Amino acid sequence: MTSGGQRSLHQAAVAQFQRAADLIDLEPRYREILSYPKNEIIVNFPVTLDDGSMKVFTGYRIQHNNILGPYKGGLRFHPKVDLDEVRALAAWMTFKTALGGIPFGGAKGGLTINPGDYSIDEMRRIVRRFTHALGSNIGPDHDIPAPDMGTSAETMDWVMDTYANISPPGFRQSVKGVVTGKSIACGGSVGREEATGRGVLYSLRHWCGEHDARLDDLSISVQGFGNVGGHFADLAAQAGCRIKAVADHTGTIVNTDGIDIPKLRRHVDETGGVAGFDMADKVDTEDLFRIETDVFVPAALENQLTLERAKVLSARVVVEAANGPTTREADEHLFANGVDVVPDILANSGGVIVSYFEWLQNKSARAWSFDDVDSRLRELMWVAHDRVVHALRRYDCTRRDAAYIVALDRIIDVYDRRGIFP
Ligand code: GLU
What pLDDT was estimated at residue 388? 98
Q: 228-253 pLDDT, tens per residue?
A: 999 999 999 999 999 999 999 999 99
The pLDDT score that the predictor gives to residue 2 is 46
Q: Using one digit for the tens of pLDDT, what is the confidence trace for 282-301? A: 999 999 999 999 999 999 99
Report, as an integer, the average pLDDT of 91-118.
98
Query: Ligand 1 centroid to 351 CA: how many Å?
Result: 6
Look over the chain and give the mean of its residue pLDDT values, rounded to a whole number: 97
Share of the chain above pLDDT 70, in %: 99
- Residue 4 confidence (pLDDT) above 70: no
SS3 for the chain is CCCCCCCCHHHHHHHHHHHHHHHCCCCHHHHHHHCCCCEEEEEEEEEECCCCCEEEEEEEEEEEECCCCCEEEEEEECCCCCHHHHHHHHHHHHHHHHHHCCCCCEEEEEECCCHHHCCHHHHHHHHHHHHHHHHHHCECCCEEEEECCCCCHHHHHHHHHHHHHCCCHHHCCCCHHHCCCCCHHHCCCCCCCCHHHHHHHHHHHHHHHHHCCCHHHCEEEEECCCHHHHHHHHHHHHCCCEEEEEEECCEEEECCCCCCHHHHHHHHHHHCCCCCCCCCEEECCCHHHHCCCCEEEECCCCCCECHHHHHHCCCCEEECCCCCCECHHHHHHHHHCCCEEECHHHHCCHHHHHHHHHHHHHHHCCCCCHHHHHHHHHHHHHHHHHHHHHHHHHHCCCHHHHHHHHHHHHHHHHHHHHCCCC
- Say which range, 6-10, 236-240, 375-379, has the weakest mean pLDDT: 6-10
Split at pLDDT 50, 70, 90, the class of 153 is very high
| Atom of ligand 1 lying closest to residue 72 CA | 9
pLDDT in tens, 51-68: 999 999 999 999 999 999
Q: Which atom of ligand 1 is nearest to the CA of 148?
A: 1
Protein residue whose Cα sits closest to atom 9 of ligand 1: 73
- Structural domains of the chain, with CATH: 9-175 (3.40.50.10860), 195-342 (3.40.50.720)
The pLDDT value given to residue 354: 98
Q: pLDDT-derived band of residue 16, with 50, 70 and 90 as boundaries?
A: very high
pLDDT, residue 1, reads 46
- pLDDT, mean of residues 338-351: 98
Task: Give the residues surrounding ligand 1 with Cβ less than 6 Å away.
Answer: 72-74, 96, 146, 148, 180-181, 323, 348, 351-352, 355
- Give me ligand 1 centre to Cα 180, in Å: 9
pLDDT at 7: 81
Alpha carbon nearest to ligand 1 atom 8, residue: 352
CA of 106 to the centre of ligand 1 (A): 10
The string of pLDDT tens digits covering residues 165-201 is 999 999 999 999 999 999 999 999 999 999 999 999 9
